[in-house]
């Protein structure tokens, strides 16, 4: 016996599906890098959430990718542009505290934080 599929989805379900698809493609279409506006806005209080958390994640992802074992000390300067955080981080390689620059993409939906780059800073 064949079951008949309803030809029209209930409207609320249809709208929910459409907005999910739209949000997803918006997230995917924001290119990986560079940032949308190219204007880095200085973060006044880099000790405030979520900046230190993002900085720690940058160090952790960098360590995982490279096999290094840098240890996070602090973030001393930061900028934001759209979903991108550009953070200047002090970390130790267990010999000496050094300065690094990291860019992390922080997406709220779908929730994801991704290290874009991590490099030594002068
Ligand atoms: C790095 O690897 C460790 C050990 O596998 C894991 O616990 C941690 O979540 C990883 N960090 C990131 C940011 O992926």
- Give the CATH number of domain 36-120; options: 3.40.1030.10, 1.20.1240.10, 3.40.50.300, 3.10.450.10: 3.10.450.10
Q: How far is the CA of 57 from the centre of ligand 1 (A)?
A: 9
Reported as a pLDDT band with limits 50, 70 and 90, residue 57 is very high
* Domain residue limits, the chain: 36-120
Ligand 1, CB within 6 Å, residue ranges: 57, 60-61, 64
Selection from 59, 73, 69, 32 nearest residue 118 by Cα: 59
**CA separation for the pair 100, 117 (Å, rounded):** 10
Model confidence over 65-114: pLDDT tens digits? 999 999 999 999 999 998 999 999 999 999 999 999 999 999 988 899 99
CB burial string 59-95: b at 16+ within 10 A, e below:
bebbbeeeeeebebeebeebbbbebbbbbbbebeeee
**CA separation for the pair 27, 48 (Å, rounded):** 26
Q: How far is the CA of 60 from the centre of ligand 1 (A)?
A: 6
């Amino acid at each position: 016996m064949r079951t008949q599929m309803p030809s029209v989805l209930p409207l609320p379900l249809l709208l929910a599906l459409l907005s999910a698809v739209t949000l997803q493609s918006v997230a995917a279409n924001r290119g990986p890098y560079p940032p949308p506006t190219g204007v880095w806005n200085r973060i006044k209080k880099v000790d405030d959430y979520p900046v230190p958390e993002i900085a720690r994640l940058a160090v952790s992802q960098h360590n995982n990718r490279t096999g290094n074992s840098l240890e996070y000390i602090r973030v001393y300067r930061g900028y934001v542009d759209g979903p991108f955080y550009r953070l200047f981080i002090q970390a130790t390689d267990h010999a000496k505290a050094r300065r690094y620059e990291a860019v992390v993409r922080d997406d709220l939906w779908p929730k994801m934080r991704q290290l874009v780059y991590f490099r030594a800073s002068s």
